[in-house]
């Protein structure tokens, strides 16, 4: 392979502003790294939409190729950990932020960022999960590790129609938990029930603006993908020794809450960081997602697009209009 050309979604910045379009890139454009990977699929996450529109909290270097997720085949390896032909998945770290990401025919990354795909998980499967699946599984692990069992009671998942939320609903239901799924999209209710949700709640059901330090104790556990008032309400609604795994901030970065739920009910707030998730945990999670935690309806969560469809989907995801997962074939 000698400086091959391939399609990419390139975001540029000049005096006229920031814009993205399908372009042609080459191997010489790629950043340094031990692994050159031919991308089979990438995916579109909220963070990718921010990167594609030039949000400085995500991306400051241009030109840039977004895509915090990529799955494909190793074309060339300068690491003893991988060989040409290995199927791999890369999520998080700096990929797709200020290092060129997965919305391209090829990526080049440090070997320390890659995970070998389990044999029963295809690159397409891996991207239906993507960062969303890794994050959802981290949330479930946090609940399990802190003693929340199916016998403990109902677990609530906020933002349940999104990528993280829908996968969390599916994993929890498969493990035997009773799941209350919160969604602002009425048309997502059928899918959430098929994933295993027992109860469907509206956003209004988990936004209490009263000054009460405690609310009626309902949930044994929670996966919160929203933040803000929603997270504050969920925390005030946890039972004694309840646990909430928090991984989102679309509803705000501040939590309107007192210390009362923590000191009177002994609740636990577990923060979830999928970007720098330790490699040992990544490997364990990908093996679980391929086997014991694999969702039987995984394919139903995916909408497949090509690079030319990215701008429209970026607008949709920023407006909260996407249900499930959007995966990208890196074709023009």
Give the confidence band of 280 by pLDDT, cuts at 50, 70, 90.
Answer: very high
Structural fold of domain 5-117+297-329:
Quinone Oxidoreductase; Chain A, domain 1 (3.90.180)
Domain ranges of the chain: 5-117+297-329, 131-271
Average pLDDT over residues 214-222: 98
Q: How, if at all, do strands 325-329 and 35-44 pair? A: antiparallel
Mean of the per-residue pLDDT values of the chain: 96
CB 164 within 8 A of CB 130: no
CATH architecture of 131-271: 3-Layer(aba) Sandwich (3.40)
Give residue 236's pLDDT.
98
Average pLDDT over residues 217-239: 98
Q: Return the H-helix or E-strand segment holding 11.
A: strand 5-14
Give the confidence band of 283 by pLDDT, cuts at 50, 70, 90.
Answer: very high
Give residue 1's pLDDT.
54
Kindly tell me if the per-residue pLDDT of 159 is higher than 90: yes
Give residue 327's pLDDT.
98
Give residue 2's pLDDT.
66
Average pLDDT over residues 88-117: 97
CB 113 within 8 A of CB 131: no
Average pLDDT over residues 59-76: 97
| Residue closest to 181 by CA, chosen among 171, 295, 251, 166 | 166
Q: Torsion angle, CA of 19/20/24/28, rounded to 10 degrees?
A: 80
CB 16 within 8 A of CB 23: no
pLDDT tens digits for range 132-157 = 999 999 999 999 999 999 999 999 99
Give residue 3's pLDDT.
78
CA Rg value for the chain: 20
Kindly tell me if the per-residue pLDDT of 130 is higher than 60: yes
Give residue 292's pLDDT.
96
Give residue 74's pLDDT.
98
Average pLDDT over residues 253-261: 96
321 or 142, greater pLDDT: 142
Helices (H), the chain: 46-52, 123-145, 163-174, 189-195, 228-236, 260-264, 279-290, 310-318
């Amino acid at each position: 392979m000698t400086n091959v050309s391939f399609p990419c979604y390139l975001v540029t910045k000049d005096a006229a502003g920031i814009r993205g379009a399908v372009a042609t890139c080459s191997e010489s454009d790629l950043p340094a790294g031990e692994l050159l990977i031919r991308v089979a699929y990438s995916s579109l996450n909220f963070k990718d939409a921010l990167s594609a529109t030039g949000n400085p909290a995500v991306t400051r270097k241009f030109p840039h190729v977004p895509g915090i997720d990529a799955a494909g085949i190793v074309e060339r390896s300068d690491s003893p950990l991988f060989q040409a032909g290995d199927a791999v998945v890369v999520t998080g770290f700096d990929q797709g932020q200020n290092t060129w990401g997965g919305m391209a025919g090829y990526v080049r990354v440090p070997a320390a960022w890659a995970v070998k795909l389990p044999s029963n998980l295809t690159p397409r499967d891996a991207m239906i999960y993507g960062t969303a699946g890794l994050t959802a599984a981290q949330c479930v692990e946090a609940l399990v590790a802190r003693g929340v069992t199916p016998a403990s009671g109902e677990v609530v998942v906020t933002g349940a129609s999104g990528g993280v939320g829908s996968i969390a609903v599916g994993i929890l239901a498969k493990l035997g938990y009773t799941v209350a799924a919160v969604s602002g999209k009425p048309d997502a209710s059928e899918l959430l029930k098929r994933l295993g949700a027992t109860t469907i709640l509206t956003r209004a059901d988990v936004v209490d603006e009263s000054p009460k330090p405690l609310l009626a104790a309902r949930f044994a556990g929670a996966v919160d993908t929203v933040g803000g008032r929603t997270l504050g309400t969920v925390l005030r609604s946890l039972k004694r020794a309840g646990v909430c795994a928090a991984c989102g901030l679309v509803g705000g970065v501040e939590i309107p809450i007192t210390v009362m739920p923590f000191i009177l009910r002994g609740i636990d707030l577990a923060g979830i960081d999928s970007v720098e998730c330790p490699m040992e945990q990544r490997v364990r999670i990908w093996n679980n997602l391929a086997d014991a935690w694999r969702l039987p309806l995984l394919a139903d969560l995916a909408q497949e697009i090509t690079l030319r469809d990215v701008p429209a989907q970026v607008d949709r995801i920023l407006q909260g209009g996407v249900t499930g997962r959007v995966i990208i074939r890196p074709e023009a």
